[in-house]
Amino acid sequence: MSTLDLNDINMKKGYYYETIITTFNEDNENNAAPIGIAIKSIDEITCRIFKGSKTLENIRLNKKFIVNITRNPLYLTLSTVGNLEDKYFQFHNKDKNYPYLKEVEAYIICEITKIKDIDKNNDPVRKAKAGFIKAKVCEIVKLNKCVNPLNRSIYSLLESLVNYTRIDIVDKDMQNYYLDRLDESERIINKVGSNEEKKAILILKSKLKEKGFEISKKYY
Ligand SMILES: Cc1cc2nc3c(=O)[nH]c(=O)nc-3n(C[C@H](O)[C@H](O)[C@H](O)COP(=O)(O)O)c2cc1C
């Protein structure tokens, strides 16, 4: 099924999702890399891509790219530590200009409307140079009836909840480790989470405070 509305694949305005972007270079070599995208409207997305990555180079060259919605752990890992082999790619309408990944839940064909150089500074990777990309959605191909785009925040919350249930029975070093993890989970949730997830992590923090743990105020 084909659509033009990101809501049809459960991507909501104001939210961030982890995807795999597929592109190709001047020698028609396919490339895949995990990239986070922000949803700006039903048919507009933005992303920030570090300088030096093949994805940014290819997007600058071709002005278009494909966003793949998938939870495939091997796709995510192999495209992070290297590139995916050609056997994992296929082509929208058999056109080599539009590579996407086999068996994904959905894919989005995007065309850039704006690209500018930025210093990415709201991230632990401070002062890194990146390209800021705004793109319009040209077509969405929904391959699964139900599409579940990936968002990091629920996993951060779950890890924090598990650690909460263990914090009274571990030693001091482990407790400090859990509290550091809590800060990092909160950072992620504040960056890419829903209002409910933000509320949930604050509840957890106040419960830990009640128990007598020293809780950082960083994100209050
Ligand atoms: C879940 C996940 C999300 C990522 N999001 C981004 C991102 O938004 N921007 C970015 O520049 N790199 C991001 N990365 C890192 C790139 O995927 C990584 O640098 C990759 O090696 C770039 O590959 P390339 O040179 O083939 O483009 C992310 C990695 C992971 C695992």
Residue ranges covered by each domain of the chain: 2-142, 153-210
- Binned at pLDDT 50, 70 and 90, residue 2 comes out as confident
Can you give the pLDDT at residue 215?
87
Query: Could you read off the pLDDT of 151-203 as tens digits, one per residue?
Result: 999 999 999 999 999 999 999 999 999 999 999 999 999 999 999 999 999 99
Q: Which of 30, 80, 95 is nearest to 50 (CA)?
A: 80
Query: Would you identify the CATH topology of the domain 2-142?
Result: Pnp Oxidase; Chain A (2.30.110)
Instruction: Tell me if 150 sits within 8 A of 118, measured CB to CB.
Output: no
pTM value is: 0.93
Q: Whose CA is nearest to atom 7 of ligand 1?
A: 35
Task: Please report, for residues 57, 107, 148, 166, 198, the alpha-carbon distance to residue 193 in angstroms, rounded to integers and kept in the order given.
Answer: 29, 22, 15, 24, 7
Sequence-distant (≥ 6) Cβ neighbours of residue 143 within 8 angstroms? 103, 104, 105, 106, 107
Sequence-distant (≥ 6) Cβ neighbours of residue 170 within 8 angstroms? 178
Q: Which CATH class is domain 153-210?
A: mainly alpha
pLDDT exceeds cutoff 70 at 84: yes
Residues in the chain, total: 220
Rounded average pLDDT over 118-140: 83
In the reported structure, the alpha carbon of residue 201 is separated from the centroid of ligand 1 by a whole-number distance in angstroms of 26
Pocket-testing residue among 30, 35, 151, ligand 1, by greatest number of atoms within 8 A of Cβ: 35
Q: Whose CA is nearest to atom 30 of ligand 1?
A: 34
Rounded average pLDDT over 88-114: 96
Can you give the pLDDT at residue 220?
47
Dmax over Cα atoms in the chain, in whole Å? 61
pLDDT exceeds cutoff 70 at 126: no
In the reported structure, the alpha carbon of residue 54 is separated from the centroid of ligand 1 by a whole-number distance in angstroms of 10
Partners of 39 in the β-ladder: 45
Pocket-testing residue among 53, 60, 101, 121, ligand 1, by greatest number of atoms within 8 A of Cβ: 53
Query: Could you read off the pLDDT of 6-49 as tens digits, one per residue?
Result: 999 999 999 999 999 999 999 999 999 999 999 999 999 999 99
Can you give the pLDDT at residue 128?
82
